[in-house]
Structure 1
Amino acid sequence: MSKAGADEGGAGGCGDSAKQLEAKDEKGGKLLSKPSAGSGWTKVSCPCCFSERVEPLVLVKLGGKVGPETKRWLIKVIGAPQKDGGAALLAHPGEDASGDIIVVSAPRCTLLRAAEELGLCKTYRSGDMEAFSYNDRDNFKDSDNMEVFLTLAERQYIVKYELDGLRVQRDLRIPGLPESRMLQKRDNIWQKLSSAGVVVDTFPLHNRKKLKDLGEAWYSGNQLAQPLDSVNDYFGSAVAFYFSFLDFYTWSLLTPAILGLAISYFSGEVKKEMVDSVSGSKVIINDDDSGPMISGHMLQAMFSMIWSTVFMELWKRRSSSLSYRWGTMNLAERFAEPRPNFYGDLGVNPVTGRVEPLFPEWKRDLRMVLVSVPVVGLFLGLVVLGMMCFYWGEAQVKQLHKDWNSLLSQALLYIPSVLHIVYTNMLGNVYRNVAQSLTEYENHREESAFENHLTAKILVFTFFNNFAVLFHIAFFKQDVPLLRKRLASLLIVSQLVNQVTEVVIPFLVDRFISAPHRTESEDDPKEDKFRNQRTLPVFPGLFAEYIELLVQFGYLSLFSCVYPLTAVLLLINNITEIRSDAYKICNLFRKPFSPPVANMGVWQVAFEVLSFVSVISNCWLLLLSPRLQELCREGGLSSTNVLLLAVFGEHVLILIKFIMAALIPDEPDWIRKKRDQMEYTSMQALKEQKLQPEVS
C-alpha cells in the first residue's frame, strides 16, 4: 500500500466533525447524514458520489485492545481510493475514535464499478436486461439511485467484496501494533487484521423496516405465495434461489402425494402394509388380492422415475427465468482476486499479470489424494460401522420381541432405527466441520472452487450416510418389509428431529436467553442497536437446508414405491418448513452476506444424479415384487432371463429420461434469445472500445 493510501486516506480524513461537514455543505457540497452526532463519514472524492443520506450497510467490530491510532488508520484505509490501495468505501467511527465499531457504507461509483466486475445485469433504457457497464452507466435505468438500482443484499456484498480485496502495495507497519504484525507486500489486509485480533467481526446490518415488511409478507400472514423478489432484494439471490426451489419442490409434491393417497386408499394390500410398517409386524402377502398391490406399486415406481425428470427439467427453466429477472445470468467469476484465506508464495499470475500468492496445482492435488480422500474414506467407514451396529441391534430386539411378545418389546423394535438416525445425524455434524477444515487445507484460489469441493465432500458423505442402509436392505438383504419399516422410521423420526433442532430449540434460546439482552427502545443510540445485532448467532448457511431437501428427494425418487405415503409426509413437512425457515433466517440469526449466484450450483447436479439413480432403484424394487416374480414363474422365465429383462427395461427407462430431458429445454426460448442478444451487445461494445484509440 502506498504512503497516501496508508497514512493520508486519499479520500479525506477519518471522522470529520459535524462542523467540518456543515462547512463543506456551505461550499456547495451536499451534507452527508451521520448515524450519531459528533462525528461523520469519511469524505468522497467524486462529486457524483455526494449524497444527502448515507445508508449504514456493514458493521466492523474491533478487538477490545485496539487503540484509537489503529482505528483511525483502518478508517483511512477503508476510505482511501483504490489506486492508493484503499477500498474506496465510506467509514464512520461510531461514537468516537476510541469505540470498538466502524460502520461502513459505499459511494455510488464504488458500487457501480463493483457491479461491473461482478458481471451483474441491470435494466437498460430499452427495458431489457443488459450486462452492466460502468462506462455506459447513464443509459441504465435508475443508475443514479443506488437504493433502487442495486438490491440491499448486493450493496452489502459489494462492501464485503471490497474489504476482502484489500491488499498491501508495499511492506507496511500497522500503527499501534507490534513489529511482528507488519504487513508484507500483497498480503490480504482484512485477513491479517482478523488474525491479529484487530477485526473481530464483519457483518451486514439489518434494515428493521424492510425486515418487518418482509416478515409480514413472508411468514406472518396467510398467503401461500412467497415474496421471492423481496427475499432476493433483502437476503440476496443465494437465499432467494433456495426458497424458490423449496417452494417449487413443495408444490410439485402435490401430484405424487395425491397418487400416493389414491394407491393407499384403493389398494387393500397397501393399506395393510402401511399398518405393518408402523406396528413392526411381518408382512403377509395375500396372493388372492395381489392385483391392486402390484398395479399400485408399479404405477408409483413408473411415476417416480418420470416425475423426478420432469420436475428437474421444469426447475431448470424456472431457475433460468429467475436468474434473468434478478440480473445474475452473466456473472463474471473468472480472473477475480484470490479468496481471502488463499495463501502461497508471491509471484506474477501468468493469466492476469497481477502480483499475488501462487500455489502449485500439484501440491493441492497431493493434499487431496493423501489427506482429504483418506479422511473422507474414514468417515465412510464409520457409516458402515454404524450400519453394522444397526443390523446387530435389529436382530437383538427382534429376538427379544419373539421371546416376550408384549407391547414393550414391540416398542423396542424401533429403538435401533432411532439410535441409528441419531448416530448418523451426529456423525454428519462432525463431518461437516472436518470437511470445512479439509477444504481449507487444500487451499483453493477461487471462492467458487472452494465451495464446489466442500459441497462435493458433503454430498458424497450425505448420500452414503443416508442411503447406505436403505440400499443394503433393498439390494443385498432384499427385505422389502424391512425397507418399508426403515423408510417410515426415517421419514417420521428425522422430520421430528429436524423441526426440533432447527426451529424449536433456536426459538426457545432466542426467546428466553438472547432476546432479553437485545431489548432496545427508539431513543437508544444507533450504535447500540447495531451492536445488538451481533448478539445473534451467525447464520450457518444453506448446507443443512439443501441436504435435508436432497435426502427428501432421494427418499421420494428412490424408494417411494415401497411406501406410497412418502410424498404426503414430505408435503406436510415442507409446508411448515417454508415458514419456519423464513422465520428462522429473519429472526434467529444475523443477516448473512449473500454473493450473487445464477442457480443452485452443485446442488442442482446432485438432484439430477439422484433422479438418474432412481431408475436403477425402482427397477430393482419392482423386480422384488412377489406378484411379478410369480408372473415370471408362470411364464416359464428363469432367474437369469428375469434379470436380463429388468436390465433391458432399466435401459429403456433411462433412454426415455434422456429423451424427456432433451425435449424439455433447460431455458425458455425467450431466455435463450436474451442471452444471445446480451452476448452480441457485449461483443459490439468490446469492438467499439478497441476501435476508439485508432479513431483518436
Structure 2
Amino acid sequence: MSLCGSYACGLCNYPQERRREFEANLEKAGLELETDDKSDQKTYFLKIHAPWEVLATYADVLKIKVPFKESDIPHGQDVPLEWLSHPFRLPEHIMRPQPDYFTYPFDKTKTDFFLITDKDTFFPPSTRNRIVFYILARCPYYKEGRKDKDKTGIKRLLSNGTYTAAFPLHDCRYWKRARNAECESERYNLYNHWARFLCFYKEQPLNLIRKYYGEKIGIYFAWLGFYTEMLFFAAVMGVICFTYGVLSYDDNISSKEICDADIGGSIVMCPLCDKKCPFWRLNSTCLSSWQSHLFDNEGTIFFAIFMGIWVTLFLEFWKRRQARLEYEWDLVDFEEEQQQLQIRPEFEIRCTNRRLNKITQEMEPYLPVTSKCARFCLSAATVIFWISLILACIIGVIAYRLAVYAAFASIIKDPMRKIQVVGRFITPQLATSVTASCINFVIIMILNFFYERVAIWITDMEIPKTHLEYENRLTMKMFLFQFVNYYSSCFYVAFFKGKFVGHPGKYSYMFGKRSKLRNEEVSFSSPLLHLTETLKEMKYNIHRNDYFGFITLFVASFPLAPLLALFNNILEIRVDAWKFTTQFRRPVASKARNIGAWQEILNAVAILSVVTNAFIMAFTSDMIPRMVYLYAYGKGASMRGYVNNSLSIYNISRISEENMPDTQDYWFDNSTTTCRYRDYRYPPGHEREYNHTMQFWHILAAKMAFIIIMEHVVFVVKFFVAWMIPDVPSDVKARIKRERYLIQEYLHNYEVERLKLQLSASFMTEPPSETSLVADKHEVLSECL
C-alpha cells in the first residue's frame, strides 16, 4: 500500500518490552511496520501498512461488501425545473466519486468473481483503516504461549502509556493537489467543495465523505444536512408569525390600556413579595407588554400547530432519506453483521464465560444474567442519583430567586425610576433573573463536566457486547442527563413560575410559610415572554444536537428559534467539515446503518413536543383568556376593557402585617383602599369574596378543550402522514429486490462457469464417472442455494 493509506502510532520512549511483543505479533498477523524518527529524537512514529493478503483475509472475516458488477439500474429520473437547483449542486465526479456497483460480501476463494482491477485501490481508504484498527484492537502484547488476556489491544497500550496515540493518516495534502498522480485526492476535493465556508449554499458530497471517513461520519452529516434543509421551512413560517406580530403591533389594545396614564397609570397592583416589595402601578409594565405581543399573538397558535406537523414530516421524510442511504451504502444488513461479528475487545477480555452462539454455532464469551442485573442496578442508581442532584440544584436556584428578589426589591423600590445598566432599565425581576441565569449557567457547566466522565464510566462498567450497543447506551445516558440539565429551568418557567402563587391574604410559600419564600409571581405582561427570555439565555449553553429540543418542545414561545437554529446549522456544518479536513486527525472509519439511539430519542421528543406546546399555549400564553373575553365577555367583540377584567380586587386593609410593605412610600395617596392582582376572583363584599368567578372556570374549560383539540389534530395528522409516507421508498424496495435477484443470478452463473472449468480440467486427465458428475452438480447447486 502507498504511504497515504498507512496507519500511524505515536510512541513514547518507554515500556519497550510491551512495544516489542506487540509489534512482533502485528508482524505475525501480516502487517508491515515502518519506523519514522522525528527530529527531536524523542518521538517515534510507527507506520503500519496492510498488504493485499491481510486486507483480503480480514475483508473475508468481516464480510465486507465489495463490487462484483457495475449497476445497470438507472439512478433516478430527471425532475422538472432541475435548473432551479443547479446553483446548489456540485460536479458529478464529486457527488459520485465512483460508479454504482452491485456488491457482495468478499470471499477470498472467489477473487475472480469481483471487479478487482487494482489491488492497491480496490478497498477504499475507510475500509483499509477499519481493517487495520480491527487487528490493532485484538492483537496481544504478551509472548507466545502465555494466556494473559488482559494484555490485548491498542486501547490498553494507549491507556498505560506504551503508545501516545494511534490514528490513520490523511491522504496527501488538502490545500493543493498531490504531485504524485497515484496518490488519492479525496481530501483535496473535500476541502475545496465541502470544508470552505463559501460553499455553505452547496449540497454536501456525502458519497465522498463516506468513502474517505466511513459510513458513520457520513450518516451524521447526511442527517445534519437534511435537518438543515427542513429547518428552512420552519424558519420561514416562524418569520411569518413574527412579522404578523410586528405588523399588528399598533392594534394591540391591551398594551395601549396598560400604557395609558388614565387606565394603567391609575391601577395600583399588590406587592409581588413580602415586606420588601412595594405597591406598584400597572403602567410600569408598559414596555414588556408591547414586547410580549411580538411573540404572543394569534399567529402563535397557528405556528404551534404547524411545528407539531413539521416535526412529524421531518421524521418521516428522514426515514425515507435514511433508507435510500442504507441501500446506496450497502448498510441494509449491517446490524446483523455488527451483532454477530464485531464484538468489542473489552467484552471478549472481561467475560471469561463461554457458550454456544445459536446463529454462528461457535463458542463465544457472554455475561451471566446475575452479573448483568447487578451492573444494571448500579448503573440505574448512579443515573438516578445524578438526575436527583440536577433537580436539587434547580430547586436551589429557584430558592435563590425567591430569596434574592426581595433584596433587590428593597434596593430598587420604584419600578418607574430610571436606573440603567448597559442601556437597560433595571427592575428587581431583571436583576434576579440575570444573577440566577449566571448561577444556573455555572451549575450546568460543572454538572456536564463531571457527568460526561461518569456516563462513560458506568457504560464501561456495564460491558456492552458490541460497539453499537455501547454507543446507544452512552447516548441514552448523555441525552437523559442533558435533557434534565438543560430543560429543567425551561419547564419551571413554562409550567410552574407564577402558576401557584395564591392570592393576597393566602399566598403560597416554597417549603411552607415558615420558610418565608413566597412563590414567584410574574408581572402583568404575558408569562410567555419570561419563557422567551429564558430560551434566549439558554441558547449559549446548549450543544448543537440539543437545538432540536428547543425548537420543538418550546417553539411556541419563540417563533424565531428555527431561524437561529438554521443559521447555527449552516455555520456548524462548514466549521465541522473544516475541522475534520484540516485540523483533526483522521478518525478511525466505522460503519453505522442509521443515527442509532437518536432515532428513538427524536421520536420521543416529537411526541412530547406536541404536549408541551399545547400546554404552553393553554397555560403559559395569554391567548386563551383573551379569546374567551373577546367572544364571551367583550362588548361588541372588542378587546377593550380586557385589562380591567383580568385583574381581581383586594382590600388593602386586610393585608396581614407579614405581607404588608415595610415602607410608607406607596406612590399613591392614603385614600386608595384596594390593590389589584392577576386572577379571576370575586371582589370584597361579595357573598363569595375571593373565590374563583365563573369566568375562571370558563377559561379553564377553554384551555382544556384547546389542549385536547390541538393534540388530537396533530396526532391524527401525524398518524395519517406516517401511513401515507412509507419508511422505505418504493423504488428503493424494487432496487433491493432486483439487486438480490441479480446477485443470485450472477453467483449461480459464476459457479456454473467454475464447474465447467473444473470438469474440462478433469476431462483432460481422466473422464469422470456419471456418479461423480452428478455429485459435483449437487454440490455446486447446494452452495449456490
CA shift, 1:638, in A, is: 6.7
SS at match of 1:581: helix
| Paired position in structure 1 for 2:420 | 407
Amino acid at match of 1:666: D
User: Distance in 2 between the 1:627 and 1:424 partners?
Assistant: 33
Aligned identity (percent) is 23
Amino acid at match of 2:26: I
| Paired position in structure 1 for 2:143 | 173
- The 3 A distance-change label for structure 1 pair 464 and 363 is same
| Paired position in structure 1 for 2:35 | 93
Tell me the C-alpha RMSD between the 2 structures: 3.8
CA shift, 1:117, in A, is: 4.4
SS at match of 2:339: coil
User: Distance in 1 between the 2:286 and 2:446 partners?
Assistant: 31
Amino acid at match of 1:463: F
User: Are residues 1:338 and 2:343 paired?
Assistant: yes
SS at match of 2:167: strand
| Paired position in structure 1 for 2:689 | none
User: Are residues 1:626 and 2:629 paired?
Assistant: no
Alignment of 1:227-626 (within 5 A): 227-268=205-246, 294-331=297-334, 332-342=337-347, 343-351=349-357, 352=360, 354=362, 357-369=365-377, 371-395=378-402, 398-399=405-406, 400=408, 402-403=412-413, 405=415, 406-408=419-421, 409-410=426-427, 412=431, 413-477=433-497, 478=499, 481-482=526-527, 484-491=529-536, 494-495=539-540, 548-624=543-619, 625-626=621-622
User: Are residues 1:692 and 2:784 paired?
Assistant: no
Superimposed CA distance per residue, residues 355-399 of structure 1 (whole angstroms, 9 cap, x where no aligned partner): 554421331222111x21121112112221222233234345654
Amino acid at match of 1:350: L
CA shift, 1:200, in A, is: 4.0
Amino acid at match of 2:22: L
User: Distance in 1 between the 2:569 and 2:476 partners?
Assistant: 25
Verify the 8 A CA contact 1:556 1:567 in the aligned structure 2.
Answer: yes
User: Distance in 1 between the 2:389 and 2:239 partners?
Assistant: 37
User: Distance in 1 between the 2:350 and 2:420 partners?
Assistant: 64
Tell me the number of residue pairs that the alignment of Structure 1 and Structure 2 aligns.
571
| Paired position in structure 2 for 1:47 | none
- The 3 A distance-change label for structure 1 pair 557 and 139 is same
Verify the 8 A CA contact 1:264 1:271 in the aligned structure 2.
Answer: no
Verify the 8 A CA contact 1:55 1:105 in the aligned structure 2.
Answer: no
Amino acid at match of 1:246: L
CA shift, 1:422, in A, is: 3.4
CA shift, 1:690, in A, is: 12
User: Distance in 2 between the 1:574 and 1:173 partners?
Assistant: 51
Amino acid at match of 1:407: Q
User: Are residues 1:658 and 2:600 paired?
Assistant: no
| Paired position in structure 1 for 2:27 | 79
More helix by share: 1
- The 3 A distance-change label for structure 1 pair 123 and 158 is same
Verify the 8 A CA contact 1:121 1:329 in the aligned structure 2.
Answer: no
- The 3 A distance-change label for structure 1 pair 598 and 203 is same
SS at match of 1:93: strand
Superimposed CA distance per residue, residues 613-661 of structure 1 (whole angstroms, 9 cap, x where no aligned partner): 1111121122234332344475684735752552354134223212212
CA shift, 1:187, in A, is: 6.2
| Paired position in structure 2 for 1:61 | 10
User: Distance in 1 between the 2:294 and 2:574 partners?
Assistant: 41
Amino acid at match of 1:436: I
With the length of structure 2 as denominator, give the TM-score of the two structures.
0.65
SS at match of 1:101: strand
User: Distance in 2 between the 1:391 and 1:576 partners?
Assistant: 35
| Paired position in structure 1 for 2:79 | none
User: Which has the larger displacement, 647-656 or 635-644?
Assistant: 635-644
- The 3 A distance-change label for structure 1 pair 153 and 489 is farther
User: Distance in 1 between the 2:777 and 2:63 partners?
Assistant: 20
SS at match of 1:367: helix
User: Distance in 2 between the 1:106 and 1:76 partners?
Assistant: 15
User: Distance in 2 between the 1:140 and 1:185 partners?
Assistant: 37
SS at match of 1:317: helix
Superimposed CA distance per residue, residues 216-275 of structure 1 (whole angstroms, 9 cap, x where no aligned partner): 2223252222232222222222222222222222232222222222222222498699x9
User: Distance in 1 between the 2:414 and 2:538 partners?
Assistant: 25
Amino acid at match of 1:340: P
User: Which has the larger displacement, 619-628 or 137-146?
Assistant: 137-146
| Paired position in structure 2 for 1:219 | 195
SS at match of 1:104: strand
- The 3 A distance-change label for structure 1 pair 142 and 326 is farther
Amino acid at match of 2:346: N
CA shift, 1:292, in A, is: 11
- The 3 A distance-change label for structure 1 pair 555 and 70 is closer
SS at match of 1:267: helix
Verify the 8 A CA contact 1:56 1:104 in the aligned structure 2.
Answer: no
Amino acid at match of 2:448: G
SS at match of 1:125: strand
Q: Which runs of 5+ in 1 are unaligned?
A: 1-50, 81-85, 176-181, 499-547
The equivalent position to 2:68 in structure 1, one of 101, 115, 124, is 124
The equivalent position to 1:188 in structure 2, one of 137, 142, 152, is 152
User: Distance in 2 between the 1:474 and 1:222 partners?
Assistant: 40
- The 3 A distance-change label for structure 1 pair 450 and 143 is farther
- The 3 A distance-change label for structure 1 pair 640 and 489 is closer
| Paired position in structure 2 for 1:156 | 129
CA shift, 1:679, in A, is: 5.1
Report which of the two structures shows the higher radius of gyration computed on alpha carbons. 2
User: Distance in 2 between the 1:659 and 1:690 partners?
Assistant: 53
SS at match of 2:166: strand
Verify the 8 A CA contact 2:125 2:211 in the aligned structure 1.
Answer: yes
User: Distance in 1 between the 2:362 and 2:140 partners?
Assistant: 12
- The 3 A distance-change label for structure 1 pair 255 and 641 is closer
| Paired position in structure 2 for 1:510 | none
Q: Which runs of 5+ in 2 are unaligned?
A: 72-100, 174-184, 259-283, 500-521, 633-694, 752-775
Amino acid at match of 1:304: M
User: Distance in 1 between the 2:195 and 2:4 partners?
Assistant: 27
- The 3 A distance-change label for structure 1 pair 72 and 381 is closer
User: Which has the larger displacement, 639-648 or 415-424?
Assistant: 639-648
- The 3 A distance-change label for structure 1 pair 309 and 695 is closer
